[in-house]
Amino acid sequence: MLMGLFDTGDDDVQLENADLDCEPQNEFVSDKEVAPLDDRLNPGEKVHYLFTGGAGLEINGEKGDRVGSTRTAITDERILIKTSKSIGTDYQTVRYENVSAVSVTTGMVAVAITIDSGAKRYKVRLQQAMNSEEIAHEVVEFIRGETSEKENQTNGGEDSESALDKLERLRDLKQDGIISEEELEEKKQDLMDDI
């Protein structure tokens, strides 16, 4: 697990809203890298993970026209995605209480984090770098933890994992070869019976 701050040597950058004193945290969280998002963050919002690059963003399977670079912050409150385009900047916010499923997809060129939230499905592609897949899995677990925490707060502390989350985990177990297709189908039927 990567923790700590990436030393950029930029002492003149002053953040007004972001709080970088938190763990876990990946190496790209720094004053300089968070600064372009600072005005969109709430005062004291803790930035745990940050991804930058030109890998792109898809919403409901559609990649935006002329999408340039993206900057994705995973905070204690939400997921904030800034997309820079040739014609301006667009921001997407996903609140943890709206996340129904989250997963990692690994390709030859990029690793993608897919976030389902009601009517929208976001796919943030991260540039393939050393241990980016490991970090992506760490981020997915962090998001799942935040999602569960927000659900518990909303439901008065009840432990209620959604059926979609359970199905997502079952699919991950099947992909990893931990359970068979038959076991997956059996568990899916059990979940459907519980609904």
pLDDT digit of tens for each residue in the chain (195 aa)? Answer: 333 334 445 557 899 999 999 999 998 899 999 999 999 999 999 999 998 765 577 888 777 654 557 889 999 999 999 887 667 788 889 999 999 999 998 877 778 899 998 888 988 887 656 567 888 899 999 999 998 887 666 555 444 467 777 787 788 777 777 778 888 888 877 777 665
Say what the pLDDT of residue 126 is: 77
Say what the pLDDT of residue 54 is: 57
Say what the pLDDT of residue 38 is: 95
For residue 94, what are the contacts with CB-CB under 8 A and spacing of at least 6? 78, 79, 81, 115, 117, 120, 122
Say what the pLDDT of residue 139 is: 93
Say what the pLDDT of residue 44 is: 96
Q: Among 70, 72, 67, which residue's Cα sits nearest to residue 85?
A: 67
Say what the pLDDT of residue 193 is: 67
Judge if the upstream peptide bond of residue 24 is cis by omega within 30 degrees of 0: yes
